[in-house]
Chains A and B, each alone.
Chain A
Amino acid sequence: MKCDVVVVGSGAGGGPIAYELAKAGASVIVLEKGPRHEKKDFVHDEISTCRRNFFLPWPDDDPHVVLASPDAKPNRTNAGWISQCVGGGTVHMSGFFFRFHEKDFALSKHYGPLNGSTAIDWPFGYDTLAPYYDKVEKVVGVSGDVSKNPFEPPRSGPFPYDPVLTHPISRWIDEAGDALGLHPFHVPRAIITRPEGDRGACVYHGLCGSYGCEVGAKSSTLASLIPGAEKAGARVLPKSMVREIVMKKDGRAKGVVFEDETGARHEVEAKIVVVACSAIESARLLLLSGSSAHPRGVGNNADQVGRNLCFSTLGQLTGDIAYDGLDDTAKAELKNGMPFIGRAVQDFYEVDPSGDVFGKGGTFHLLFEHDNPIHAAERLIRDKNGLVYGEALMKKLHAHFTERRTLEVECFSEWLPTDGCRVTLDDNATDRWGLPAARITLNRHPSDRAASALLVGRARVLLEKLGATNIRTLDVGGVTYVLQHGTCRMGSDPNTSVTTPAGHLHEVDNVYVTDGGSLPSSGAVPSTMTILANAFRIADGMKSKLAG
């Protein structure tokens, strides 16, 4: 097979490349490891969709090896995988689509030296990415309301889609926020609120995160970009596992070798190879590939591939609002079936430096506990004495589901890159193709936990103001394995980065990395919107390159 551009991965990093290049007239082949799901496959079944291997592989088939710290014992797990199917992680994402703020692009410049961190500033600023954020909102589809967030970075105009409808409790949150001097605002969502082509408008099932959208309202690349790419001539080959990037003697890439579902191997020759299979797996693919000019892996002569791994730091808490004690109106409002609360707070995105907090907090947003009942029940099976079962569990289950609603707050803050946080190849574990698995070693900067604790504390105050009881902190400084960055980060210095500002490897000008791996930092919001925007930006450069 021959083409102009071969894209490995079809999610947030690969989708925009396929869409833009195919529309520009390039011949494009997209190789996706997972299957292609149709809308009818996206059923409301917690067991098969969220708890088996519909999106994520079994750890025995396709392991990651995670070390919770550099000295920790290796753990074979499926953590760190993002949905394996056409559309990648955008298919099972929740779709909270915030923009990075201006200072996120230049941490060192704005906050000074970050001791203990290997962070570098982005090679460009917010202004460069702003038009591509606009493009994501329009082409991929983002709904929102700009009127209420005084901390929103500059934007060219309103959201192209009206905001999703929200539950009456959002008004309660607005009032509580006002009383505390906060500015709760409407969460932008990658959900369209009017039909668009083959895509339906949101039908408010509420099963967004961990599920696929059966009407195409959620703006996965499967719904939004892949059809357009295919219409323009791109070929998407599901169940195609890329084993290696094939290099030529001149040090440039010749193409890739992939294995189809029958086990047959094929080579795709391409002018440009785009690696976009998640920050962890893109680093792994580069490390698995090599040549005499790249003995440590493609683009890894400076030993930077896989380093500077950063997820998003997560804080999480829940609180209950009981029906008992509310008047009839309030009770009816709380029982309303509208799934989205749609409120976030960015008043603490920037804070005064204190202790390990270097001056940046982050974002928290409120939502109802996920509609998945098994997931909710699992949160009830432990107390200070250990496992809860029998009559005690029956009472807890009944109270949880019938006597109250549980609010959840997710707090997103920066995950500073450090020396020890990285992806390598594991010496022992292999996947079902016989290839070494990714070994993910975590190492945390003290500021991660400090900023997360700060946000959790502020969110707790808001929950208390709302009248929530039984407020429980579930996580501080946690790991959002589905939001991955840094392993092939962009930069101007080949000794501290893997890719150029244009997106290709410093050492190989026809191999690009366009997923979260290319982002130098995690920001303090979910990053999928930024991954898409950056991929659109890189695609523009690629078009010029192919035309030239």
Chain B
Amino acid sequence: MAIKRRTFVVAGVGTVALGAGTWAWLRERGYDVDPHPAPPQGEQRAPVGPLAFTPFDPVALKILGTVVGILIPGDETLGLPSAVEAGVVEFLVRASALPGMLPVRNDLLKLTRHIDIVAQRHRGVRFDELDDATRRAVIDDVRAGGDKRRTFDPRGALETLLRLSLEGYLGHPRHGGNAGAKTWAALEIDMPRDVEAGHEGHHP
């Protein structure tokens, strides 16, 4: 059966337009339709499906580690450890694995993907391939609300990450952060000890 050339062209153009429209529509609604950056050789990615729950894949974890370092860089002159030194990344992993924290974990995952996409779109390379100053500039862009989507609020997710990071930075060390209670010591925070532990009253 012969198809007229004009019909063929119109159908082809229509199909392409429909595909592009669908892509834009899904992307606008926060669906992850951008092609993922190809993981470098040998890089492990979180498998799809049920697993002993690991809240973040290695790519996301690496981005989170970098971002919390930007949010809470520490200050040597003030004696303040950085988020990474304080164990905030370990804290984030433990905290995000709690069932009730699933919405938070999902937001953080979306945030890492968003940051990577923004880096590629505006800087041409993946987030982790940028230098420190440019990474900070990318985070500043996210804070400013650029590239926002209708169903995902990157600026809100960045704030969520900061709040959760502060938990890991200033919370009880039993949760994996605030390693050695060094943040409390640096900030002269005198958290009262538990009576159960035999230490009544405030920390000396």
Contacts and interface: CB of A to CB of B under 8 A. Distances in A.
A387 B80 contact: no
A203 B200 contact: yes
B146 to A, nearest CB: 12
Contact of A389 (B80, B162, B167): B162
B9 interface: no
A207 B172 CA distance: 14
B61 interface: no
Contacts of A391: 73, 75
Contact of B191 (A373, A389, A397): A373
Contact of A390 (B102, B136, B186, B195): B136
A378 interface: yes
Interface in B53-106: 70-75, 78, 80, 95, 98-100, 102-103
B163 interface: yes
B24 interface: no
Nearest to A200: B195
Interface in A37-76: 39-40, 43-48, 51-53, 58, 60-61
Contacts of B17: none
B1 to A, nearest CB: 52
A179 interface: no
Indicate the member of A51, A387, A391 with the most B CB atoms within 10 Å. Answer: A387
Contact of B171 (A39, A374, A398): A374
B171 A44 contact: no
A398 B166 contact: no
A433 interface: no
Given A58-B100, A61-B100, A387-B143, A373 B194 contact: no
B188 A401 contact: yes
Interface residues of A, number: 40
B114 interface: no
Contacts of A43: 194, 196
A348 interface: no
Indicate the member of A39, A204, A401 with the most B CB atoms within 10 Å. Answer: A401
A377 interface: yes
B124 interface: no
B98 A47 contact: no
Contact of A40 (B95, B184, B196): B196
A398 B201 contact: no
Indicate the member of B99, B103, B188, B191 with the most A CB atoms within 10 Å. Answer: B191
A47 B175 contact: yes
A467 interface: no
A381 B184 contact: no
A40 B195 CA distance: 8
B6 interface: no
A371 interface: yes
A206 B193 CA distance: 11
Interface of B: 70-75, 78, 80, 95, 98-100, 102-103, 136, 139, 143-144, 155, 158-159, 162-163, 166-167, 169-172, 174-175, 184, 186-196, 200-202
10 contacts: A44-B172, A47-B167, A52-B98, A53-B100, A60-B100, A378-B163, A387-B159, A389-B70, A389-B162, A402-B188
Interface of A: 39-40, 43-48, 51-53, 58, 60-61, 203-207, 214-215, 337, 371, 373-374, 377-378, 381, 386-387, 389-391, 393-395, 397-398, 401-402
Q: Which 7 A-B pairs have the closest CB atoms?
A: A58-B100, A401-B187, A205-B192, A389-B71, A394-B75, A373-B170, A47-B171
Given A46-B171, A47-B175, A387-B159, 7 more contacts: A43-B196, A44-B194, A48-B172, A205-B201, A207-B192, A378-B163, A387-B162
